Amino acid sequence: MENDKAGELFDRLYREWGPMVLRRCRFLMRDEDLAVDAMQETFVQVLRRMETLDLERPSSLLYRIATNTCLNLIRGRGRCREDFAGDDLDAIAAVDENEERALAGDLLGRIFHREEASTRVMAVLHFVDDWTLEAIAEETGLSVSGVRKRLRGLKERAKGLRGAWA
- Count Cα neighbours of 65 within 13 Å in the Cβ-side half-sphere: 27
Q: Measured between alpha carbons, how far is 87 from 34 in angstroms, rounded to an integer?
A: 24
Q: pTM here?
A: 0.55
Pure H helices in the chain: 2-29, 32-48, 58-78, 89-93, 98-112, 117-123, 133-140, 144-165
Q: Measured between alpha carbons, how far is 22 from 51 in angstroms, rounded to an integer?
A: 23
**Quick one: which of 155, 156, 132, 130 has its CA closest to 144?**
132
Whether residue 72 is found in the same domain as residue 102: no
Whether residue 88 is found in the same domain as residue 165: yes
Query: What is residue 166's predicted lDDT score, i.e. its pLDDT?
Result: 45
Query: What is residue 158's predicted lDDT score, i.e. its pLDDT?
Result: 77
Low-confidence ranges of the chain (pLDDT < 70): 1-3, 77-108, 161-166
Whether residue 95 is found in the same domain as residue 132: yes
Query: What is residue 91's predicted lDDT score, i.e. its pLDDT?
Result: 55
Whether residue 72 is found in the same domain as residue 96: no
Whether residue 8 is found in the same domain as residue 70: yes
Query: What is residue 87's predicted lDDT score, i.e. its pLDDT?
Result: 40
Q: Measured between alpha carbons, how far is 67 from 147 in angstroms, rounded to an integer?
A: 17
Q: Which of 49, 80, 111 is the last residue in one of the domains? A: 80
Query: What is residue 37's predicted lDDT score, i.e. its pLDDT?
Result: 92
Domain span holding position 98: 84-166
Query: What is residue 83's predicted lDDT score, i.e. its pLDDT?
Result: 33
Query: What is residue 1's predicted lDDT score, i.e. its pLDDT?
Result: 42
pLDDT 10s digits, 22-53? 999 998 888 899 999 999 999 998 888 887 87
Whether residue 68 is found in the same domain as residue 119: no
Distance of CA 141 to CAs 45, 125, 146, Å? 22, 14, 10
Whether residue 104 is found in the same domain as residue 153: yes
